[in-house]
Structure 1
Amino acid sequence: MALGRIGAGGVLALLCVPAALFAQRDSAEVVPGPRYAADRVQEFFLGENWRHLWLTPIRAPVLDLGSFAGGLEPFRTGGNQSTTLHMRGADGRRYVFRSVDKFVQKSLPRDLRGTPAGILIQDQTSALFPTAEAAVGPIQDAVGLLYPPARVFVMPDDPRLGEFREEFAGMLGVLFERPDEGPDGTPGFAGSRRVVAMERMLERLVEEPADRVDSREYLAARLVDFLINDTDRSEDQWRWARPEREGAYYRWRPIPLDRDGAFMNSNGVLGGIARRIYPKLVAFGPDYPDRRSLVFEAVDYERPLLSDLDRRTWDSVTAAVQTRITDDVIDRAIAQLPAPYRAMEGARLERDLRARRDRLREVSLDYYEWLAVDVDVHGTHEPDRLEVVRLADGTVDVRLYPGAASAMAVADGDAGGRQEPYFHRRFVPTETREVRIYLHGGDDHAVVRGEVTSDIIVRVIGGHGDDVLVDSTVAAGGRGRTVLYDAHGENTFITGPRTRVERRPFRFEVPASSLSPGPEAAVAADAQPAPHGEMPPGAGAADDEDAGNADGKPYGDDDWVVHKIGGDRYRDYGSTFSWRPTADFELGTGLVVGFGPVETYYGFRHVPYASRVRLTVLFAPGPFDFGIELDGDVRRENSPFGFSLLARAVRFGAVRFFGFGNDTPEFDTDRATVRQTELSAAATLDWRPRYGGRGDRARISVGPAFVYRDPRFERGSTLSLLRPPGSSPFGQIGAILDAELERTDGQPVPRRGFTVDVQAGFWPFVDGEADDFADVEVVGAYYLPLRGPTGPVLAFRTGGERVWGDFPVQEAAFIGGRHSLRGYVSRRYAGDASLFGSAELRWPITRVTLLTAGELGALAFADAARVFFDGDSNDGWHVGAGVGLWYATLGQVVSAAVARGGRTRLYAWLGLPY
């Protein structure tokens, strides 16, 4: 950007609009949002927000459809949460009238529209500052941004509105020119001959080197977002204007739109809860929210847009923005607000904006430092020439040029005819961990040279084309390495002592079932042809090296247009930290609640993450005992293999034992249950072959395991009377195998497909009264639709377990309870083998609205099961049957059932029994 050069952007846009356009004769008094009235209790839960402003009458000019822009002709509506009316002006420009109030319901999922939950979400519109967009103009002018000026109007009750009259008459809204290019290549918005949306801009960046973005101006616009607390900055809130060419390149200028999120102020109990899911719901004040909230909507698409800015440039842009937003600018911004709002909140806005401006550098540099750790650099589909030089001070200098000179000439420092690079940045080892350079299509030449004196990793990802990738670096004390990736074309690799070459295509899951391709799968299939005979669309996996755009050009590896904007790209940078609660019901213990930290690290080609660690402190209110659990998971780069660790120590464990066989007497459950201290740990190698995504997964885990149990005898318990192995403290060491395969339609109430789960253990080292033993358990389920796509479904489940050796009673083959035989207490019967089966009819009834809307259904089931002991299965089968209800909403399902078997029992599940 040159901040000095863009300083007249907003002014230029204003001069393009005749002064007569804003000349209005009439005005009207309106209340922006009377539906946001709330009492004290409601405000406590829903937040005070800017509720009082929505309830305050303001006066605004009435739009004159006959004189504005020489006359306005409405031709269509639009908008997502806002209601918009698009109009053609007699001056040849296009204008948009957007409602101040939001109509969130129409953008919500079907299960939320018109529901109590939907009404609560709609109420969060009160967190927006009505008419705030008018106040942002002076700030954007001062910074030098290009934007469409907006004014507040009331839409008249005018017959010229035609078919739109009923919806828009009397509506309070903002009117602005839609940034667009002129017809037939004539100058359009602010004199620009080309104006495109963000998605098209991202596509152009990888199509050819001539199109570049003005990253400094974009950063300045984002700093304004931070200042005014505008966290609603998705890709739809931007357009880009192409100025005249500067040298070899066009530097496209950002046009920020839709500033109605300025001064966002969400508070209240529900707002705090919602913030954990949607961090952009922030409170406004002198202090900034955390970085995650500020960049939540934008970070995925803007990381490459800011990747060429080093610390010095970033800091200079920040300082310029701070300097230009003077106290006078802030005063002029507040002066644009309606008089009642200035009287009520003007002093607060002035104070808080000044405080935020003074702290802007702190927030800005924090974002820079976070972005600088893992950096994405993108080439184009044209032939590119990459030069990476590792310098003696540990820095890494990266330059991208159009065209592809001989890589060997570049390696020798003699490329000839040097031109201005379209990307250049020097990366510092104290800031950057790795740089990923995507060359995309074309016959590219890349060279990495110099001495490795730092730990920065350089990844060069070739795309389609016949590429030459060279690493001539020499080791000089640093641990940094060069990784060259290319899976297509006739490629040449020249490597050094610290080079790794990766020729495998990169694959990742798409979030749709291959058995039931929905709209998401259709989009992925259309966007991802397989021209090289790789896995075809709909086969369940996507190879991002084989993706293509609408023009048929192939995208390179990990293309950020398809997979960022398309919504199915995995995250590969940074980390997240959160606190998570848990709740469960455990055998003999009842309710167990937990709470603890979860930290997730993301990495290049690690799907869905590089590692995740969760530590949970557990508490069982019934016995008033505690426990702790550690769960870790590590995934390898571009590999189905990973590692898992699960360790658990609790004092509220329990074993329930009525005796062996099918004919054990019925007696009090408490007498059959003995509490025990349990220590366990398992470390497994995991194999997860990639299938289609949701409802279509597979996993095999195998590894060593350790278990220690210390039963606490209670006088009169069956364990103390019968004294089976496992009645006294013992430990066991062995190996476990856990495998699962799911091939269903991925619905909350599965309609077709099957699942198979296998668990096995071999325990050669057992102390105490037991001896070595082994066990295998297999459970499968099958779903069969009976009538059409919405009719009833038959769900079948069958399974069994076999245990060999002198096993402890805790490892017996049990039946009873929700997992095998409903209508009986959990683990009612024990043996060295078990067999069970279930049939369940699930019948959708109707859609109902509770807190949300969803589908209510009925279920009826029958279970049968038996155990074997020493080859005998006396007293035959045990049978349970029952009925229940299920309710599916927002992709989740809850269910409840009553079953009669040995006794009548009530069950409730988050989900379905199977």
Structure 2
Amino acid sequence: MVLLVGGLFCSCTEPAPAGPPPPVIPPDSVVTVAAGPQYMRGPVHRFFWGGHYREVWSKPVRVPVVSLRNLVPGGLTPIEAGGSFQTKNLRLVDQSGRQFVLRSVDKDPTKALPENLQAGAIGRLMKDQTSVIQPYGAYIVPVLAQAAGVYHTNPRLVYVGDDGGLGAFQKDYANALYLLEERPEGDQSTVASFGRSAKVESSRKVFTNLLFKADHRVEATQYLRARLFDMFLGDWSRREDQWRWASFGTPAGGVRYEAIPRDRDHAFFKFDDGVFTRIISWVKSNYQSFHEEIRLGDVEGLNRAARPMDKSLLVYLSATDFRQVADSLKRRLSDQVIEEAIAAWPAEIQTLSAAEFRRKLRSRRDQLPAVAAKFYELLAQDVEVPGTDQPERFVLEAAGPAQLRLSVYQRNTTRADSLIGQRTFLARDTRSVKLFGLGGNDQFNLVNLPETRIAISIYDGAGQDGVLVVGKLPARPNVTVYNCGDGNIITLPKSIKVEAYQPKAEEFDAAGWLLRHRLY
């Protein structure tokens, strides 16, 4: 059975009139439905407010109608409504306890506005800008991510009619187009695209563990691969809550985390193709559009949302690491892979968008090594190295002319200290290195420091810490120790500056550092 489900065209200045009630659509049929015909606009509106993906939103596509009772053996039961300010989500669970989520294809960013503005001209204009999103963008990501070696969800495009299986959520969630995908949480040992991890955790839980337990660490090169893949997709909205983490035990009894990106709503973002939206993009430089060229000057804005994560999780990686991961991604994302990804779209969308995306994806792939080099350059300028609330030993020493090597160890009382991470900083790349002991009784050792312009700052944090000079110092060492005065052992030459200070919350201990990640 094929049915046509229509939508009304409306301007951004007048609300759409109420339409007739939707037809009753039986499950196991097919509808032909447009994701958002209301976003089609005339040439004047498109000139000022952008053409975006309006044609894609208004193009009817054939979509299967599903019944929650029949989607999986035993059916899916709705348990919780949710979502962000834009996306409407419905969490579902099967008989085994495995969770899924229905994510609305259409968005409503007006929920972020005060209630008195939502129905007015500002709200309607804001809703109109939903057209900057490629409504089927998430649909082609799994093929690309699989080839890239990046974990991913597996969204499926479905239409939910007036389904009794929605239960108490029927009124708000019936008769709409959704992406149905696994929810990356809990035991995912049967899901290859989540690493078959028996314990997938939230960013809040993972960053808490990283800062309280020195033997819990993120697989940094795997996270870097995911971040470069974000840039390939043009996905600039990568805050901490856009991630989940597959956890794996280590032989030493610790935990290794691997990144699972989720929520690809802002992949392939197309914003700056109107007069007014281009002006806005100059002010909001993080609103990066999916162009054929990834401009190196835009790399900072493209990654601004994820910058606190990037600075913490990539701190021990070198320029060589960045180059090797980028080269690997470039090889993996072949022309054939791009063709297979585009083929995952509904045929109607391929007709509209295949040529554009083929050209852009190939071009952006070829730029990944240059983009990775620029990404490294930005992160290497001013480096912040956090400890944990357990005792660490930070060792700074010469590694060659104008080269400073940092080694961080977990301090142990019953066995040798274990290396957490190590990196060599070059004066041509790095202006400053800041060490944050956070909690625990930490030790900072300055060993035969090199002549270098790199400014070194040591923040002791909570606990009783020590700073020790071993060997010789440069004539004018560029080192400042910030002592909060809680019983630290600091006896240093006069050439090293020691300043008393009242630490900010995000400098003092693990709980405070979580403020940088908007997770505490």
Which of 488, 492, 495 is the equivalent residue of 1:491?
488
Q: Which residue of 2 aligns with 1:506?
A: 503
Q: Which residue of 2 aligns with 1:749?
A: none
1:86 maps to amino acid: R
Which of 436, 442, 449 is the equivalent residue of 2:440?
442
Once the two structures are superposed, residues 475-526 of structure 1 have per-residue CA deviations (whole angstroms, 9 ceiling, x without a partner) of 447x65222223142111132354111222135xxxxxxxxxxxxxxxxxxx
2:354 maps to amino acid: G
Indicate the SS of the match to 1:243: strand
* Counterparts of 2:283 and 2:112, CA distance in 1: 17
* Counterparts of 2:388 and 2:190, CA distance in 1: 28
Which of 153, 163, 166 is the equivalent residue of 2:158?
153
How many residues are treated as equivalent by the alignment? Answer: 487
* Counterparts of 1:215 and 1:446, CA distance in 2: 24
2:305 maps to amino acid: E
Which of 362, 376, 381 is the equivalent residue of 1:368?
376
Indicate whether 1:74 and 2:78 are aligned.
yes
Q: Which residue of 2 aligns with 1:176?
A: 181
* Counterparts of 1:340 and 1:214, CA distance in 2: 40
Indicate the SS of the match to 2:481: strand
More helix, by proportion: 2
Which of 381, 392, 397 is the equivalent residue of 1:389?
397
1:320 maps to amino acid: S
- How much does 1:404 deviate? 5.7
1:78 maps to amino acid: G
- How much does 1:64 deviate? 2.9
* Counterparts of 1:311 and 1:497, CA distance in 2: 35
- How much does 1:99 deviate? 0.4
Aligned residues of 1:471 and 1:482 also touching (Cα < 8 A): no
* Counterparts of 1:64 and 1:196, CA distance in 2: 29
More strand, by proportion: 1
Once the two structures are superposed, residues 742-795 of structure 1 have per-residue CA deviations (whole angstroms, 9 ceiling, x without a partner) of xxxxxxxxxxxxxxxxxxxxxxxxxxxxxxxxxxxxxxxxxxxxxxxxxxxxxx
* Counterparts of 2:68 and 2:454, CA distance in 1: 60
* Counterparts of 2:396 and 2:199, CA distance in 1: 33
| Residues 104 and 486 of structure 1: CA distance in aligned 2, closer, same or farther (over 3 Å) | same
In the TM superposition, what are the counterparts of 1:103-114 in structure 2 within 5 Å?
Answer: 103-110=108-115, 112-114=117-119
- How much does 1:215 deviate? 1.2
RMSD between aligned alpha carbons? Answer: 2.3
Q: Which residue of 2 aligns with 1:427?
A: 425
* Counterparts of 1:325 and 1:119, CA distance in 2: 39
- How much does 1:244 deviate? 2.6
Q: Which residue of 2 aligns with 1:239?
A: 244
In the TM superposition, what are the counterparts of 1:189-208 in structure 2 within 5 Å?
Answer: 190-208=195-213
Aligned residues of 2:300 and 2:375 also touching (Cα < 8 A): no
Which of 113, 118, 124 is the equivalent residue of 2:123?
118
Which of 64, 67, 73 is the equivalent residue of 1:64?
67
Aligned residues of 2:208 and 2:510 also touching (Cα < 8 A): no
| Residues 82 and 473 of structure 1: CA distance in aligned 2, closer, same or farther (over 3 Å) | farther
Higher relative contact order, chain-length normalized (CA < 8 Å, sep 6+): 2
Indicate whether 1:55 and 2:53 are aligned.
no
1:270 maps to amino acid: F
Query: TM-score, normalising length from structure 2?
Result: 0.88
1:482 maps to amino acid: V
Indicate whether 1:325 and 2:333 are aligned.
yes
* Counterparts of 1:362 and 1:165, CA distance in 2: 49
Indicate the SS of the match to 2:401: coil
Gaps of 5+ in 2: 1-26
Q: Which residue of 1 aligns with 2:138?
A: 133
Aligned residues of 2:212 and 2:510 also touching (Cα < 8 A): no
Aligned residues of 1:129 and 1:263 also touching (Cα < 8 A): yes
1:445 maps to amino acid: Q
* Counterparts of 1:33 and 1:448, CA distance in 2: 61
2:149 maps to amino acid: G
Aligned residues of 1:404 and 1:444 also touching (Cα < 8 A): no
Q: Which residue of 1 aligns with 2:277?
A: 271
Indicate the SS of the match to 1:440: coil
Aligned residues of 2:105 and 2:179 also touching (Cα < 8 A): yes
* Counterparts of 1:174 and 1:475, CA distance in 2: 60
Query: TM-score, normalising length from structure 1?
Result: 0.51
Indicate the SS of the match to 2:293: coil
Indicate the SS of the match to 1:474: coil
Identify which range, 430-439 or 416-425, moves more after superposition.
Answer: 416-425
- How much does 1:308 deviate? 1.1
Indicate the SS of the match to 1:260: coil
Q: Which residue of 1 aligns with 2:410?
A: 402
| Residues 293 and 109 of structure 1: CA distance in aligned 2, closer, same or farther (over 3 Å) | farther
Query: Percent of aligned positions with the same letter in both sequences?
Result: 30
- How much does 1:393 deviate? 1.9
- How much does 1:37 deviate? 1.6
1:50 maps to amino acid: Y
- How much does 1:285 deviate? 2.1
Which of 309, 317, 330 is the equivalent residue of 1:309?
317
